Amino acid sequence: MLRGTPVHARTSTLCQAQNWRRWSGYLAAGSYELHHDREYWAIRSAAALIDVSPIHKYLVRGPDAMRLLNRVVTRDLARCAVGQIFYTPWCDARGKVIDDGLVARLDKDIFRLTSAEPNLRWLTDNARGLEATVEDESERLAALALQGPASRRILGQVAEPAAALEGLGPFRLLQGSLGGIPATITRTGYTGDLGYEIWLEAGRAVDAWDLLLEVGGAYGLLPAGLLALDLARVEAGLILIDVDYVPAPRALTPSQASSPYELNLGWAVDLDGAPFNGWRALREEKRRGSAWQLVGLEVEWEALERLYAAEGLPPQLAAEAWRGSAPIYDGRRQVGYATSGAWSPLLKRILALAHLEAGHAQPGTRLAMELTVEHRRRKAAARVVKLPFLDAGRRRA
């Protein structure tokens, strides 16, 4: 049975479109207005408030908390200082990705791990023999994402201590409050832009939501749903589980699963740290090289125009980000497949995330992507580009 999130009392009244999506057993707004255009532009030009409470959240603590997480994730958490956050995947024994998420170091022996899928059993199985406990906080904690160039100014009006917020760098956290409501504020997000995520008790989430919308109104803040978020994350080149990769436990064949190197996440693999699940397999893959690589693709506009002009039509552009498999060709030979993509309103380009054979993954490589024009399968010229498609300097400022 689908449930409402801790702020459903507010999102349900704001959602004019009644456009709901399923997310980890919760109802999540696809868009609040009849179309998500304004919500997308709020992310890119003002600020957007996104309910991300369905994310799974696990509190890991105890003298062996770091040992447990270093046994699981591919990052070396000995390098993660208190108040710092690491993005990381975690793998099975074959070095194939199970899930990906954030690890925040809240204190010396206290960490919070967030994930897209349930991971409690995996964590507790790996905790055997260690002095560490894993607590599922998914229902107790709400999470609100405040994203966009005006997000810092909005938070500065209500967050304490304000001075610490001003100096909060990317992938850092602040233990403070929001209008007197205790909260952990992290400089993180899924939009590739300046943004924060606010973690607080579920019972106070409505108060925080109301406060942010009240203060943010002067800055153009809008509530935004998953359709706008999907556009933003494609522009930022950020992968989505069950869309851009199959989690290893659900892969029906070995070829369906992907390693971090194949997902363009080699930078998040610390082979010099303590051995973790999949360490040997990934060390061997690093030595021999990966067979596949996740890349960015841009479809050439002129090629698209020609395909539609042959049918007497102007180019047809999908308003929403798409998810599915689209074959990629080098001449007549298929060399990969796209998994998600979108027409970028800001960049004015057709973008796609794609898995390619390693020999075709170099930026600048010219290929073709299959698409449908008037019920017929056609090929549109495309080229490989470096990710992210959109690099908003505000994200790192």
Q: At a CB cut-off of 8 Å and minimum separation 6, what does 185 contact?
A: 155, 159, 165, 168, 173, 174, 176, 178, 196, 197, 198, 199
Output the pLDDT for position 394: 76
Output the pLDDT for position 187: 98
CA of residue 127 relative to chain centroid, distance: 27
The mean pLDDT of 312-323, rounded to a whole number, is 95
Output the pLDDT for position 393: 79
pLDDT per position as a tens digit, 330-356 = 999 999 999 999 999 999 999 999 999
Output the pLDDT for position 395: 75
Q: At a CB cut-off of 8 Å and minimum separation 6, what does 209 contact?
A: 7, 10, 49, 51, 144
% of the chain at pLDDT higher than 90: 96
* 208 residue type, one letter: A
pLDDT per position as a tens digit, 42-51 = 999 999 999 9
Output the pLDDT for position 396: 73
Residue 82 — pLDDT band, cuts 50, 70, 90? Answer: very high
Output the pLDDT for position 260: 98
pLDDT per position as a tens digit, 355-397 = 999 999 999 999 999 999 999 999 999 999 999 999 987 777 7
Output the pLDDT for position 10: 98
Please give the angle made by the CA atoms of 325, 266 and 339, to the nearest 5 degrees.
Answer: 10
Helices marked H in 17-161 — which ranges? 37-45, 65-72, 120-126, 151-158
Output the pLDDT for position 27: 97
Measured between its terminal Cα atoms, the distance across the chain in Å is 42
> CA-to-CA distance for 387 and 397, rounded, in angstroms?
19
Angle between helices 205-216 and 151-158 (to 10 degrees): 120
The mean pLDDT of 226-232, rounded to a whole number, is 98
Please give the angle made by the CA atoms of 317, 356 and 55, to the nearest 5 degrees.
Answer: 70
